[in-house]
Structure 1
Amino acid sequence: MRKRVKVIDVTAASKHSYTVNLSILFSELPLLERPAAAAAAGFTAAELWWPFGLDATPSQAEQDELRKAFTDAGVQLTGLNFLDDISTGVAKGTLSVPADSERFRANIPVAAGLADSLGTKALNALYGNRIEGVDPAEQDELALENLVLAAKAAHEIGAILLIEALNKPEAPAYPLVSAAAAVEVVDKVNEATGLGNAKFLCDFYHLARNGEDLVAVIDNYADRFGHVQIADNPGRNEPGTGEIDYEDLLARLTAAGYTGRIGLEYRPSTGVSADSFEWLPREHRAAK
């Protein structure tokens, strides 16, 4: 049954620029058809989780197909995950996992190269799950080493490195389950590199599921935000279907000086992605 969508005052929403996550939205379509579908819905910017499954080094032909899908649709790829292994349904990143570290390192130049070719200026590195039998301190040391490499690769193409907190109910083995934990890693990476290009990816859905005070997150960490993603809670559906007050949060983001994009990373309650954007009038969907 379709959820009732609360009407949102778009005054605050209209002040932001949006990017639609094509790994979760329009997923009823083949990947290469999604950029055109996003364009047909009025969007000019999109982002992706790692789009090649468990393959850290996809062929040039595969990358060219994806690149062509975006350029033909006239959609800018604004964000891309490094190798994340999300397609397994269990893994939440590879960079802190000893058995997967070499795969992550092999992926760094591939992801950065693909991002550079599409003018993508944000690369997201999921931290990875805790592994039974491995000392958490060892994983954290490995994570910092790999995040430093990723930050340097991002810097070389003029991009930022994003570090994200996930929610514990859905990712119980993922150690970064608070804004404070993610920001602590951000600060460590910046201290290690001296580049200052590591930023916090603030996903309000994940933080809400963890029970965080979202207003306090903005007040305390807005200066570290590199990107914001939204979905309502519970359900991870579009804004207006749950309990998060996005009118207030979007206004607070503006007041805090956040000028970055807002990533739409939700599952459509409608079952059809194109029907899930009623809360955001078409004239506000194209990137500013």
Structure 2
Amino acid sequence: MERRKFIEKASLATAFSALFPFLSNANGYRKDHTFNLNYAPHFGMFNQSAGKDLIAQIEYMADQGFKALEDNGMMGRSIEDQNKIAKALERRGMKMGVFVIDGGDNWKKSLTTGKQEFSDNFLSTCEKAVEVAKRTGAKWMTVVPGFYERNLPLGIQTANVIETLKKASDIFEPHGLTMVLEPLSDTPDLFLRFSDQTYSICKAVGSPACKILYDAYHMQRNEGNLLANIDKCWSEIAYIQVGDNPGRKEPGTGEINYLNLFKFLYEKGYDGIVGMEHGLSLGGIEGEKRLIQSYIDSDKFK
């Protein structure tokens, strides 16, 4: 290329970038925004922009400024894939968020029953989770105690859950790992549904290895009053997840004021992970761009 034409094109590009700093980079979005919190997408959120390769998706997430990754299904991945994911996260300076302790559908094989076989199955899976966490650099694992046991009083069910979680804490605590209990809204048959209920269980277990995963989507549906309830349960909350309600899509698509919520977390000094536990309101690349923009908009509190 002639020197004069090269200078003209370079000058034009510089001026264009100065006028429109928010426009896309080669991957389709801007890189100039630095997030205040550690938002964590999950695999599949950026299939249209990055393709289906897991490592390419991590690279794309990092390029957009995201500082962490969630992968509920990590325990089901091959050791080879787990190692590849860990190396990619380390290379890009990203943290590994939660994965689910999955030992054969504990939603139905509930810890509330007090049945030894269910407790043994869960604790065996916790042992396996330790190895997965070591490979991937994860520090938190999601736990769902399961369904109500209608034939037992609520207090007995609660005691059964606490007893098993104490044993699980003994597995995780020596490794500096934390299981995070998630109250859910998917069905009223689930035992764990409210933040204060989860708080009381964590207090009873009495271990740094047993804390709360506070998902704002589920808690908006079950109890509302998000900021006040987060504040009351703060000492036992180790992990945050989000999704707007109704619809469980990105911030700005429902009734939750995520600008206020994220500001609240930031001012509380929260430096943990904010898991993006939701879907997208639009399909295709445009939907993925809208997803990123929703977090940029909700993160503009300082």
Give the TM-score taking structure 2 as reference length: 0.72
**Per the alignment, in what secondary structure is the counterpart of residue 150 of structure 1?**
helix
Change beyond 3 A, Cα 1:16–1:218: same
Percent of matched pairs sharing the same residue:
24
Q: Which residue of 2 aligns with 1:102?
A: 120
State the AA in 1 paired with 2:60: A
1:36 to 50, 53, 56: 56
1 or 2, which has the higher helix percentage?
2
How far has the Cα of 1:93 moved from its partner? 7.4
1:46 to 69, 72, 81: 69
**Per the alignment, in what secondary structure is the counterpart of residue 232 of structure 2?**
helix
CA distance in 2, matches of 1:231, 1:92: 25
Q: Quick check: 2:58–2:88 contact (8 Å CA) kept in 1?
A: no
Q: Quick check: 1:237–1:269 contact (8 Å CA) kept in 2?
A: yes
Size of the aligned set, in residue pairs, is 253
1:213 to 225, 228, 252: 225
Q: Which residue of 2 aligns with 1:249?
A: 261
Q: State how 1:164-183 maps to structure 2 within 5 Å.
A: 164-167=182-185, 170-183=186-199
1:227 to 233, 236, 239: 239
Change beyond 3 A, Cα 1:132–1:222: closer
Considering only aligned residues, what root-mean-square deviation do their CA atoms show, in Å? 3.1
How far has the Cα of 1:259 moved from its partner? 2.1
Shifted more, 145-154 versus 35-44: the winner is 35-44
Q: Quick check: 2:110–2:148 contact (8 Å CA) kept in 1?
A: no
State the AA in 2 paired with 1:259: D
CA distance in 1, matches of 2:110, 2:42: 21
Q: What CA deviation, in whole Å up to 9, does each residue of 1:24-45 have, x standing for no partner?
A: 745899xx83453143133342
Q: Quick check: 1:38–1:44 contact (8 Å CA) kept in 2?
A: no
Change beyond 3 A, Cα 1:228–1:178: same
Pair 1:280 & 2:288 matched: no
State the AA in 2 paired with 1:264: M
Q: State how 1:52-201 maps to structure 2 within 5 Å.
A: 52=75, 62-72=78-88, 74=91, 76-83=95-102, 85=104, 91=107, 94-96=110-112, 98=115, 100-133=118-151, 136-167=154-185, 170-190=186-206, 195-201=207-213
State the AA in 2 paired with 1:83: D
Pair 1:19 & 2:31 matched: no
CA distance in 1, matches of 2:184, 2:146: 10
State the AA in 1 paired with 2:178: I
CA distance in 2, matches of 1:256, 1:79: 21
**Per the alignment, in what secondary structure is the counterpart of residue 280 of structure 1?**
helix
CA distance in 2, matches of 1:107, 1:28: 34
Q: What CA deviation, in whole Å up to 9, does each residue of 1:120-175 have, x standing for no partner?
A: 111221111124545555543332222112222221221222111111xx221112
CA distance in 1, matches of 2:244, 2:147: 24
CA distance in 2, matches of 1:257, 1:278: 24
Change beyond 3 A, Cα 1:35–1:228: farther
CA distance in 1, matches of 2:202, 2:173: 15
How far has the Cα of 1:281 moved from its partner? 4.0
Give the TM-score taking structure 1 as reference length: 0.76
Change beyond 3 A, Cα 1:77–1:71: same
CA distance in 2, matches of 1:16, 1:156: 28
Pair 1:236 & 2:248 matched: yes
Shifted more, 133-142 versus 263-272: the winner is 133-142
Change beyond 3 A, Cα 1:95–1:277: farther
- 5+ long unaligned stretches in structure 2: 1-33
Q: Quick check: 1:21–1:264 contact (8 Å CA) kept in 2?
A: yes
State the AA in 2 paired with 1:189: V
How far has the Cα of 1:213 moved from its partner? 0.6
Shifted more, 74-83 versus 235-244: the winner is 74-83
Q: Quick check: 1:218–1:253 contact (8 Å CA) kept in 2?
A: no
- 5+ long unaligned stretches in structure 1: 1-12
